[in-house]
A and B are shown apart, each in its own frame.
Chain A
């Protein structure tokens, strides 16, 4: 369900653009939807489309074009590990492999308890801080050695069980 408070956040984004260009806010609105609901369903796309005077298909084109929109439900925490070349040179791919082993899942999968989704990603623009990963699209974690990765996963598991 798209709540009224989400629509208030939509309007904050819409206000940045000319009144006849509401569509410009679609990227931000979909990101808000994803933050609140975890993914972008076709029902959510319809609400966004109506809010912005767009065809639902035009919204769907945006959801499917950009890598970060979740087109299906993901775990409570989505981890995107950068594996592009500059990160690969500093352990990015190894970090992903370490997480696969620790979580017992392959990249692209979600843990059975629905807590963590693990994905590789392209360049996050933080190459000097490698290995880097992004938690739920909004929080970047840097210099992720195996020890820190363990600390992160253990912490997320703990948080997941208490909340």
Chain B
């Protein structure tokens, strides 16, 4: 057996993470089985009909740029990468009449701990992203795009490159797409291990071949983006949602979710559940229902806490989560955020100090070093949580943690500072007693951490 054959035995097939038939009214995940990622199968599922429709190549009259943007606005689609910004509105910021080069960028640098949806979308339904990007490019008058893919998922990058080749050969990308006057060149690019590059301006710097250090905003990418040109950046899942919206209409998409929270969302459920994986469900689905899809809490234990939107989102205790529905507005009302849709579930055996210790180390490790409050502050946060975990904490540490976190927030160029501070704030708000117990007894309140 050679090395390739050896490693092939350990490849994820997507059966566990995405092909479990436990989605609710899926759109992006609908009909996927792991083998049908290619162009022909995508077309058989209705793929590239939306692109034909807007270009008037389906026998109809086509859609104008304004009509495409209006449809996306009507759909209530909000950015799936974390910020939840209305996609149609973002598209309308692009100065379409700008005479020079403009760029479209897909942010597939999926590194927010807990998130693994974009990987499966690109691995198993890559043409949905390509078609979504082509539609966006048409709507904004852009003819060059890049998909920046997380460096750790190199096989997915290669899959996406293969899908690009198929799309070019079939005339869905390139010059004069489907015989129209619309041209769009799309390329794949990859990172190589830097969480910060998920921040959109750090991503642009990285795409320009530099260190991924975020830029001051304003100017925003819509006016000064890649190579200083107007640029629109959306998340992978956002683009993948677009073909369905164009095929079925904005109102139909909005109706799938709830007002101001249109459509379906893929939640990556990880941690202490029986069936970790990606679950595509309508926006507004109760958390309790999502937990049930994921098989419930592992080994029949009790739910203790949930980080509902990726590691940067404040943790919420079980009682609050069980009353929350999975949409931007409801989770915000509960005191956290939907973020990237990464739901990290923790059962009653989990120590919150140890959990925060690992997260704080992560932010300290991944701070790009540009802004002092983040570069120094994330290290302070980690060292304090680390000493509490290791039995060297001081009674004043909780207030100090809170103060340091507060002094990072809002004082940095990008959101990584806030992302490091929010988990600390959330833990202290809901589980301060565990930190106090650790300091006082120099040991863990919960005990075994399995």
Contact = CB atoms under 8 A, between A and B. Distances in A.
Interface of A: 16-18, 21, 23-28, 30-31, 52, 54, 58, 61-62, 65-69, 77, 83-86, 88-90, 121-130, 134-135, 137-144, 148, 151-152, 155-156, 158-159
Contacts of B86: none
Interface in B224-263: 227
Interface stretch (B269-277, B321-329, B330-338, B403-411): B269-277
Contact of B16 (A21, A66, A67, A143): A143
B82 to A, nearest CB: 14
A127 B332 CA distance: 24
Given A27-B206, A128-B276, 11 more contacts: A17-B187, A66-B151, A66-B191, A66-B194, A85-B271, A127-B270, A128-B278, A134-B152, A139-B154, A144-B10, A158-B1
A142 B155 CA distance: 13
Contacts of A159: 1-3, 6
Interface in B190-244: 190-195, 206-212, 227
Contact of A142 (B11, B111, B358): B11
B311 A85 contact: yes
27 contacts: A16-B146, A16-B187, A17-B187, A65-B212, A66-B151, A66-B193, A66-B212, A68-B151, A69-B192, A85-B344, A85-B359, A86-B270, A89-B350, A123-B112, A123-B195, A124-B150, A125-B116, A125-B150, A127-B268, A127-B270, A128-B17, A129-B17, A137-B154, A151-B9, A152-B6, A156-B6, A159-B3
B211 A89 contact: no
A137 B7 CA distance: 13
A81 B370 CA distance: 28
Nearest to B208: A24
A86 B6 contact: no
B358 A31 contact: no
A61 B210 contact: yes
A127 B146 CA distance: 25
Given A65-B211, A85-B359, A159-B3, A124 B152 contact: yes
Nearest to A160: B3
Nearest to B154: A138
Given A27-B190, A127-B116, A148 B278 contact: no
B276 A152 contact: no
Contacts of A123: 111-115, 195, 311, 362
Contacts of A140: 11-12, 152-155
B153 A125 contact: yes
A65 B207 CA distance: 14
A129 B116 contact: yes
B116 A126 contact: yes
B271 A86 contact: yes
B163 interface: no
Nearest to B342: A127
Contact of B192 (A67, A90, A124): A67
Nearest to B358: A85
B12 A31 contact: no
B271 A143 contact: no
A83 B342 contact: no
A119 to B, nearest CB: 11
Contacts of A137: 151-152, 154, 192
Nearest to B9: A151
Contacts of A121: 152, 193
B189 interface: yes
Nearest to A23: B209
Interface in B11-25: 11-12, 16-17
B110 interface: yes
Contacts of A67: 192-194
Contacts of B270: 86, 89-90, 127-128, 130
B12 A129 contact: yes
Nearest to A54: B209
A17 B208 CA distance: 9
A139 B150 CA distance: 13
B114 A127 contact: yes
B111 A125 contact: yes
A27 B153 contact: no
B434 interface: no
A108 B414 CA distance: 30
A156 B153 CA distance: 21
A18 B113 contact: no
B133 to A, nearest CB: 15
B1 A62 contact: no
B389 interface: no
Contacts of A84: 113, 311, 358, 362
Given A18-B227, A140-B12, A128 B268 contact: yes
A141 B277 CA distance: 16
B412 interface: no
A37 to B, nearest CB: 15
B343 to A, nearest CB: 10
Contacts of A152: 6-7, 10
Contacts of A129: 12, 16-17, 116, 276
B366 interface: yes
A17 B168 CA distance: 17
Contacts of A23: 208-210
A83 B355 CA distance: 11
A161 to B, nearest CB: 12
